[in-house]
Amino acid sequence: MQQKLWIPGLRTMTRYSALAILLSLLACGCTVNPVTGKSELMLVSTADEVAIGREQYPLAIQMQGGRYQVDAQLSAYVSEVGQRLAAVSDRELPYQFVVVNDSVPNAWALPGGKIAVNRGLLAELDNEAELAALLGHEVVHAAARHGAAAMTRSMLAQSAMAITVISLRNSDYGEIAAGGSQLAAFLVMQRYGRDAEREADRYGMHYMARAGYDPRAAVSLQEKFVALAQGGRQDWISGLFSSHPPSEERVLFNIATARDLEAQGLAEGKLGAAQYRARIAELLAAGEAYEAYDQGREALRDNRSDAAFGFGQRAAGMEAREALFHGLMGDARYQEKRFREAVRHYSDAVSLDDGFFHYYLKRGLALQQMQRIADARADLEKSAELLPTPLAYAQLGRIARAEGRREAAKTYFQRASQSDTAAGREAALEYLRMDVADHPTRYITAEGRVDVRGYVLVQISNGSGVAVRDVVVRLRVTSPGRSSRIVERSLARALGARTRTTLATGLGPVPADSVIEVLVISART
């Protein structure tokens, strides 16, 4: 399910001003695609595109599994191949390439040239030229501004539906992280259209040829993808194929492109099979360990924590440098509520990889259960620094509330509530409960009147989404020719969410033309 795009700087405006700015953007938003040379509507500037990629790249990496740390030379090799392709691309960008530590075969590109390939996909390739085909495809997505085009379409849809307008220039990009990294998720998970995929295939093959690779490897790569898709492998369907669907049509298109390049004498580049096998030998040697890890994750999802722990132990015995395996053992013990043991395994994971949010998040939650609040707070803060998540923010809010830091707690709950998840929705309720108590007049209204017997009644309305109790109102009753009388009255019963009731004050009888002023001074939830 595609997530709703959250972009910083979004402002709700009047119909007139939104449409006026939108028309202005449409008038000046046509640019020339640096790869295809075609004129296109683009509402995201190059500077904004680069800034978005720079800010979202670390978040997207965290969301996809963190960096692959075990074999630094493999990561450097992938980056080296990627930079060769970037050097011959049609657009100069601050290109970066990273290997993500996830078994799901996937690759993606963010605006501004930020590109990633999963560990699981590298294990499926046969030669360096296929790697170049894969990375060249993603380089084109960045160079041809396909991510920015997707953002433009989303912005136009929002403008049409909600009369809103976006201005990325001079905006606070920190809001993206606070918003649950929704933009990063949108950009990574989006499915490119047929034209964008064909452009990425075609021009990616041109980049391969320019960089000295045999572009026919793009044909063999696409044929491999089609065979895997027909085989129904779930990891591929949930990974690369969800955003880059293969097809026989794309195979034929790549064959035609390869023939054109051959006719131009541009298909004599290298395949680099032996070199590629040597570079990924260490990854392939650890394949059984990662397979055990994946089985452990599946067992954990099925609440078979003991089996999950066993898979983690087995994986760690085969590859002692991989933090994921210790994290799996920590997750298994956490599921069993054996928090002290969980903390130990998470600490082992952190010692091997101190840059992945999950270990800090789960260790913080375990430490909180052990009442080691200061240590829990530190871990949760580190987790949120690496990747803002509603769960980390919600737990930080609860810690702050318990410590009497109400404003800090409300800030954390607000940040968590920006995510439409169970944790986010619960945080929204917790914020509301606190804010109702702090500012009851924002949610509860009261109006006084005199009944037929001359007694003062107060109608109290709860406009919030939570039940309230112990509502206290202050009344000032001013009758003609008499001094004002000020009293306080309490509502003895709870008042449900978005309901109203009438409070009999016992004041009276008073003249019918008396002036009655009512102020809600306190309430609890």
Interatomic CA distance for residues 208 and 196, integer angstroms? 18
Q: What is the pLDDT of residue 237?
A: 59
Q: Is residue 286 part of a domain?
A: no
What is the phi/psi pair of residue 457, to 5°?
Answer: -120, 150
pTM assigned to the model: 0.85
DSSP element (H, E) containing 135: helix 128-143
Instruction: Take residue 72 and report the two structure tokens written for it.
Output: 């630094």
- Pair 330, 451 in one domain: no
First to last CA, the chain: 35
> What residues pair up with 117 in beta bridges, in sequence order?
99, 107
User: What is the separation of C-alpha 42 from the centre of its chain, rounded to a whole number of angstroms?
Assistant: 24
Query: Are 207 and 315 in the same domain?
Result: no
Q: What is the DSSP letter of 506?
A: -
Joined together, the tokens standing for residue 200 give: 């990425």
CA distances from 273 to 84, 117, 177, 288 (A): 17, 19, 41, 22
Residue type, 509: P
The CATH number of whichever domain residue 473 belongs to comes to 2.60.40
Whether residue 283 contacts residue 244, with contact meaning beta carbons closer than 8 Å, is answered with no
Is 292 among the domain residues?
no
Is residue 284 situated within a structural domain? Answer: no
275 touches 132 (CB < 8 A):
no
Pair (449, 509) in one structural domain: yes
The two beta strands, 96-100 and 114-118, are parallel
Last residue of a domain, one of 409, 435, 461: 435
Distance, in Å, from the CA atom of 523 to the CA atom of 52, rounded to the nearest integer, reads: 43
Same domain, 390 and 487: no
**CA–CA distance, 215 with 203 (Å, rounded to integer):** 10
The whole-angstrom separation of Cα 16 and Cα 20 is 6
For residue 37, what pLDDT is reported?
75
Query: Within a domain: residue 285?
Result: no
How far is it, in rounded angstroms, from Cα 409 to Cα 395? 9
Q: In terms of DSSP H, where are the helices of 29-125?
A: 46-64, 72-87, 119-122
CA distance 86 to 116: 14
> Are 424 and 499 within one domain?
no
Q: Which DSSP letter does residue 440 get?
A: G
Of 141, 132, 158, the closest CA to residue 7 belongs to 158
H or E, element range at 12: strand 11-12
Q: 337 and 418 share a domain?
A: yes
Task: Calculate the dihedral angle through the C-alpha atoms of 417, 418, 421, 427, rounding to the nearest 10 degrees.
Answer: -10
Closest alpha carbon to 123 in 303, 291, 302, 300? 291
The whole-number pLDDT of residue 94 equals: 97
The predicted pLDDT at position 156 comes to 66
Crossing angle of helices 323-335 and 339-352, in 10° steps, is: 170
Q: What is the pLDDT of residue 29?
A: 65
CATH code of 361's domain: 1.25.40.10
Give the SS3 label for residue 265. Answer: coil
Instruction: Note whether 30 and 174 are same-domain residues.
Output: yes
Q: Residue 506's Cα: distance from chain center in Å?
A: 55
Looking at 415, 435, 455, the residue that finishes a domain is: 435
Which regions in the chain score pLDDT beneath 50? 1-25, 27-28, 159-178, 180
Strand order through the sheet with 444-450: 444-450, 456-462, 499-504
Domain annotation covers residue 4:
no
> Structural domain tally of the chain?
3
**Which residue is associated with the tokens 């994946």?**
294
For residue 289, is it within any domain? no
Residue 297 lies in a domain: no
- What are the tokens at 23? 């028309």
Are 195 and 49 within one domain?
yes
Q: Are 123 and 283 in contact (CB under 8 A)?
A: yes
Note whether 428 and 451 are same-domain residues. Answer: no
Give the Cα separation of 164 and 173 in Å (integer). 18
pLDDT tens-place string over residues 327-374: 999 999 999 999 999 999 999 999 999 999 999 999 999 999 999 999
- Which residue from 470, 395, 457 is spatially nearest to 430, judged by alpha carbons? 395
- Same-domain pairing of 450 and 409: no
3-state secondary structure 150-174: HHHHHHHHHHHHHCEECCCCCCCCH
**Do 266 and 117 reside in the same domain of the chain?**
yes
Statement to judge: residues 446 and 335 lie in one domain: no
In-domain check, residue 294: no
Picking from 435, 451, 467, the residue at the C-terminal end of a domain is 435
Domain of residue 449, residue span: 440-524
